[in-house]
Amino acid sequence: MSSTAPRRTALDALHRSLGATMTDFAGWDMPLRYGSERDEHLAVRTKAGLFDLSHMGEITVTGPDAARLLNYALVGNIASVGVGRARYTMICRADGGILDDLIVYRLAETEYMVVANASNAQIVLDSLVERAEGFDAVVRDDRDAYALLAVQGPESPGILKSLTDADLDGLKYYAGLPGTVAGVPALIARTGYTGEDGFELFVSPADAEKLWLALTEAGAPVGLIPCGLSCRDTLRLEAGMPLYGHELSTSLTPFDAGLGRVVKFEKDGDFVGRGALEAAAERAASQPPRVLVGLVAEGRRVPRAGYSVVADGQVIGEITSGAPSPTLGRPIAMAYVDAAHSAPGTTGVGVDIRGSHEPYEVVALPFYKREK
């Protein structure tokens, strides 16, 4: 990151007026929490929460070869995504290392929007531009063209319905359609990073405040509150969703991260990383290195990223994310551990928390799954 002052979203003044605790996140000054992060977490699980996610990086890819380009540049079969649908995918290096995880929306036959993590948006943009050589497609940096608001939680469909004529009942999970919300033109996507039903609304930064206020007004009676990045992290952790820089990195392939399903070898044509990923798939099947697992504490001390996972006095893995889980009422973590200790129910596993070995239970991910 450069040493310049952090960037501010279109909602910055609003966050400050709400008394948000702000934090520097990937070069952006973002709300960490407005009040209690536990209350914010529980609001999303039981009612609704409103997030400013304008730090996310939007990149538009257009042109006759847009689908072919994305099939070459990314590991998923992007050409097979229907118009109005979205896909979770990854962009890898030639050696198979993960550059970022992405959501790609197909907005039209020859138009896609790629949404990258803020910390990786420049790398993703540069890689797409480089990989676009020879394709009849244009890669456009649209990071400044959008503000992104998310409404997440079981009350979110009702809240949004009161503000739009768009057919939300027809909008499936991982789909997106253009519409109008509170008089504001928006791309309405049924996506999120919380494990709950919810929507992400891509709008012009000039409209962000109007939309935020309308959502707050419509949602407050049913318990919607503004939510910061702190609870977004515990929500995604409970839902077993990976976070780049924690569970995902350039030194891991999707297969190492237990996400080999996003790599589509059967798609037409070559793609960046194919050879290395075929080898990685074989390696993961025959002699898995470390495996991503869930850990639940028996005690109350919280594991943090980088702490060692131990068994019989030996280090057998490393924590990638850890937090107190508001839903489970106990600390939880994701960790890469040696395959021999990765089966749910494995006993004798602990976490080295500042010198003391605290007992943990190995569980299958996710920790939390909503009832549909």
Partner 1 sequence: MSNPQQLRYSKEHEWLSVAEDGVSTVGITEFAANALGDVVYAQLPEVGSTVTAGESCGELESTKSVSDLYSPVGGEVTEINEDVVNDPSLVNSAPFEGGWLFKVRVAEEPADLLSADEYTAFSAG
Cβ–Cβ under 8 Å, residues 131 and 72: yes
Which listed range, 141-149, 151-159, 197-205, 300-308, lies at the site for partner 1 (CB under 8 A)? 300-308
Note whether 357 binds partner 1 by CB under 8 A.
Answer: no
- State the nearest-atom distance from the C-beta of 336 to partner 1, in Å: 22
Question: Which of these, 283, 256, 263, lies nearest to 337 by C-alpha position?
Answer: 256
CB nearer to partner 1: give 269 or 355: 355
The upper half-sphere exposure of residue 290, i.e. CA atoms within 13 Å in the direction of its Cβ, equals 19
CB nearer to partner 1: give 190 or 232: 232
User: Contacts with partner 1 in 230-269 (CB under 8 A)?
Assistant: 230, 234
Neighbours of 45 (CB within 10 A): 21
The tokens for 147 are 């503000």
Angle, alpha carbons 239-245-249 (nearest 5°): 105
CB nearer to partner 1: give 21 or 180: 21
- State the nearest-atom distance from the C-beta of 303 to partner 1, in Å: 10
Angle, alpha carbons 92-232-112 (nearest 5°): 45
- State the nearest-atom distance from the C-beta of 296 to partner 1, in Å: 15
Cβ–Cβ under 8 Å, residues 31 and 228: yes
Residues 96/99/101/107 CA torsion (nearest 10 deg): -100
Cβ–Cβ under 8 Å, residues 179 and 252: no
CB nearer to partner 1: give 106 or 232: 232
Q: How many residues does the chain have?
A: 372
CB nearer to partner 1: give 32 or 335: 32
Non-local CB neighbours of 169 within 8 Å, separated by 6+ positions: none
CB nearer to partner 1: give 34 or 112: 34
- State the nearest-atom distance from the C-beta of 234 to partner 1, in Å: 7
Note whether 197 binds partner 1 by CB under 8 A.
Answer: no
Which listed range, 67-75, 186-194, 323-331, 340-348, lies at the site for partner 1 (CB under 8 A)? 323-331
Note whether 350 binds partner 1 by CB under 8 A.
Answer: no
Q: What is the size of the binding site for partner 1 (CB under 8 A)? A: 16
Binding-site ranges for partner 1 (CB under 8 A): 21, 32-33, 36-38, 230, 234, 300-302, 304, 323-324, 331, 354
